[in-house]
A and B are shown apart, each in its own frame.
Chain A
Amino acid sequence: MIAEAGLAALWLAAAMALLQLVGGLTLLRGGAGQLVPLIKPAAYVQGALCTLAFFALMWLFYVTDLSVLLVASNSHIDKPIIFKLAGTWGNHEGSMLLWVAVLSVSGAAIAFFENRVDPKTLSATLAVQAFIALGFFAFLLFASNPFERLVPAPLEGAGLNPLLQDVGLAFHPPTLYMGYVGLSIAFSFAVGALLTNQVGPAFARAMRPWVLGAWIFLTIGIAAGSYWAYYELGWGGWWFWDPVENASLMPWLAATALLHSVSVLATRNALCAWTIMLALVAFAMSMAGTFLVRSGILTSVHAFAVDPERGAFILALMLMYTSIAFVIFALRIGTVKQGEPFQLVSREGGIVANNIFLSVILAVVLIGTLYPLAAEAMGDKISVGPPYFNKATVPVMLLLMLALLIGPMLRWRRDALMRMKYLLIGAAVILVSGGLAAWILAPEVGLYPLLGIALSLALAVAAWMPLRGRKLLRTPLPTFGMVIAHFGIAVSVFGMAAESGFSKETLTALAPGESAEVAGWKVQLEDVKPVVGDNWVAVEGQMVASKNGDMFELGPQSRQFFKPEMQTSEAALLTRWNGQLYAVIAQPDQEGDGRWQVRLWWKPFVTFIWYGGILIALGGAISLLGRMFRRAKKPAINKWERA
C-alpha cells in the first residue's frame, strides 16, 4: 500500500513538472499565459510529492517490507536500524529517488524564496528545472522503479554491502547529491537568464547562493568520502584517483571556478559569458559524475546498476541536456552584453587565472577518467591511475596556489604588482626558505611535496592579508569566509604534501608478544582475540604503541560479514597533533607459525587534509550566511524608512 502510494506520488509529481514546463514554454513564446500563475504552485506540489515518495521508501526500509524488490535485495532484517534507513539511498533506485527529491524540493525553494530576479526569468528558470526533473522522473518510472513489488516475498533479504555500513558513509551520498542538485539550479538559472536576456548582476546574485551551497556540500562530501576511503579500506591512502572519486572532484572543480566568476559578475558586472559557460560545464560535470557512478560502466562499491539500459538512459539524458544547453548558449551568447573592462593585473585578472587553472585541471582529470572507457570501446584495455593524475595535475595545482597567494590582495579593475612589493618579497622569502629548509631536512623527498609545503606555508600567511588594514567589525562576513576558505586550502595542501612526502611504512608479520617499529613508534602485538558484532565476527589485534614513554592501545580488526559474505579490514588510528599512526591487521600467516600480517604507517599531519576541508566548507558557510544576513536585513531597513 505504502509502495503504491509512493509510486502514485512520483507519477503525480512528474505531471506537475510537465505542467511547470508547459507553463514556462507558453510564457517564453509570448502566449496568453493562463498557465503562468500555475508555475509556482506546481513547483511546490512537485516538491511535496517527491518528499512524500522518498519518505514512503524510507518507511518501507524502516519496517523492512520484503515484498518490495528494492528492500529485499538491499536490506536484511538483522541490520542495525541506522543502516536500514541509510539503505534507502545505499542502492541505485533509492539514490536516484533521493536525487529527484532534492531537485524538486530545491525547485520549490526557488519558487518560494527567490525575489531578486525578473519574474519572467524566474519562470524560465523553473521551467528548465522542471525539464531536468522530467528526464529523471522518466528514468525512475521507466528504468528504475524503486517501488517494484517482489512476489513471493523472501524471508530475510540480501543485506547491504558491509563496506557501506558505516555511519559516515550513510551521509556521504546525500551530501554529494545536494551539491549536484545545487549545480543543476545554477544551470537552470543560467539557461533561464539566457532565454530571457537577463544575464547580469541581478541574475548572478540570485544564482550565487545556490552555487555556494552546492559547493559547500560538494566540499563536505568529497572530504567525507576521502576520510571514509582512508579509514575503511585499510590501504592507508586518502585519494586514489578512482573514477568515482573523480566523478565528485570534477563538479567541485567546475563549481569552484563558477563560484569565483559568479562573484565577479555579481559585484563587477564582468565575465558574463564566461560565468554562463561555467554554469553549463558544472552541471554537465554533475551529470557526467552521475553517469559514471550510476551506469555500472565502472566496477566499484558505488556502481549499483549493472543494467546497460540504465547506463544508456543516463547517458542519453546527459547528452540531451548538455547539448540543448550549449545550443542555446551558442544562439544567445551574442545577445549578452559586454562586461565592464578590467586590466589583466587586477582582482578580475586573478579570478580569470583561478578559472583557467581550475579548468585545465578539470580537463586533465576528465580526459584521464574517460580515456580508459574510450580505449575500451576501441578494444584496448588500459587503466589510468595515480601516476598519470599526479603527474598531470600537481604542477597546475601548484601554479594555482601561486596565483592564490597574490590574487585576493589585488584591487578590482586595475592594480600594480609594485604596490605590494614588500608582501611579494616576503612571500618569496617564506617560499624559498621553507622549500630550502625542507630540502635540507629531507633531501630524499620529491620536488612536489616540498613545493607543496613551501606554498602552503606562504599561503597560510598570505590568506589573511585581505583583512590587513580593515576594521574587523566592519568587514563583511563574505570576506572572512574567503579568508578562512583560502586558509583552509593552505592547511589541506600542507597535510597532503606532508603525508605524500614524509609518510613511513612498516610491513611485517608478528606473533603475539613481538613488536615492530615505524617512525620512532614501537608497536607491540599483545594478543589476537575474536570479537562479535551485530552482523559480523572479527579478529582484533590488541596492540600497544609507545613513543617517548607514552603508551596507547590500538585495536585493528579484520571483520567477516555474513550477509552478504565479505571481509573488511578496520584500521586502528591513533591521532596525535602532528600526525596519525595507522595500523592494519590481516590474515594469519598461512605457514601456521602463529604470526599475523601487520601493516603500520606513520602519516605526518595527515589529519590536516580534512581539517582543511572543514575550514574550506566553513568559509563557504560563513560567506553564505553573510549574504543571507545582508539580504534579510535590507527589507527591515526599508520598513523603518517607510515608517
Chain B
Amino acid sequence: MKPKHQRLLLALIAVVALVSAGLIAASALREEASYFYTPTTLAAANVEPGKAIRLGGMVQKGSILRAADGVSITFIVQDQARSQKVAYRGITPDLFVEGSGVVADGRLRPDGIFVAESLLAKHDENYVPKELADIDMTAAANTKNTISQ
C-alpha cells in the first residue's frame, strides 16, 4: 500500500468511527435520556409507562406514608397546579421532609403511580436541585390534591 493511500485509509476509518459513535449516541439518547417533568407537565405529556423520567416538585405536607416493612414509602409530589403519587423503596435522603423540594428518578407504573428509583432532596441552603430552581415552593404548598383515587 502506498503511504498516501494509507493516510487516506486511516482518515477514512477515523471518520467512519466518529460517525458511528454519533449514531450510537443518538440512538441511545433517544431511548435513555430522561426528561424532567413537574406534576403539571407530566399530566399534560403522554408519557408511556416504563420510560425513565425525572419528576420534581414539593413533597405535600402530611402525604408521606410508611409501610410496615419500615423501608417502603409513598408520598405526593405537587407543584402550583397538580400533584402526583410516588412510591419509593429505600433509604430516603437526609433532607427529604414534607414541605420541601424533591427530584425523583424513576418510571410511571401502568396504574399511574410514579415508582422512584432514587430521590434527590434539597441538600442545604446553598444547594437546590437545579430542576427545582424555577418552582415556587410557597405557591406549590397551597395546591389542592388533584389526584383522583
Contacts and interface: CB of A to CB of B under 8 A. Distances in A.
B28 A388 contact: yes
A352 B18 contact: no
Given A273-B7, A367-B22, A391-B28, A599 B90 contact: yes
Interface string B10-33: 100110011011101100110111
Interface stretch (A130-138, A219-227, A583-591, A616-624): A583-591
Contacts of A81: none
Contacts of B6: 338, 341-342
A364 B94 CA distance: 34
B91 A381 contact: no
Q: Quick one: which of B24, B70, B130 has the most chain A CB within 10 A?
A: B70
Nearest to B96: A587
Interface string B120-146: 000110010111000000000000000
Nearest to B91: A586
B145 to A, nearest CB: 22
Given A383-B36, A509-B71, A338 B3 contact: yes
A89 B144 CA distance: 48
Residues of A contacting B: mostly: mixed
Contacts of A445: none
A546 interface: no
Contacts, number: 122
**Chain A interface residue count: which class?**
35 or more
A299 B127 contact: yes
A360 B33 contact: no
Interface stretch (A49-57, A194-202, A564-572): A564-572
Contacts of A597: 70-71, 91
Interface residues of B, number: 43
Contacts of A319: none
A608 to B, nearest CB: 26
Contact of A371 (B10, B31, B33): B33
Contacts of A367: 21-22, 25, 29
A624 to B, nearest CB: 28
A274 B92 CA distance: 49
Given A339-B3, A341-B6, A564-B124, A509 B25 contact: no
A388 B127 contact: no
A101 B94 CA distance: 38
A246 to B, nearest CB: 13
B3 A363 contact: no
Interface in A266-295: 271, 273-274
Interface of B: 1-4, 6-7, 10, 13-14, 17-18, 20-22, 24-25, 28-29, 31-36, 52, 54, 66, 69-71, 89-92, 94-95, 105, 123-124, 127, 129-131
Given A359-B14, A380-B35, 13 more contacts: A274-B14, A356-B17, A371-B29, A381-B36, A382-B34, A383-B54, A384-B29, A385-B32, A391-B31, A507-B90, A508-B71, A597-B91, A599-B90
18 contacts: A341-B6, A352-B10, A360-B17, A368-B29, A381-B36, A382-B34, A384-B29, A384-B32, A384-B33, A385-B34, A396-B24, A507-B71, A507-B90, A508-B70, A509-B70, A586-B91, A587-B94, A597-B70
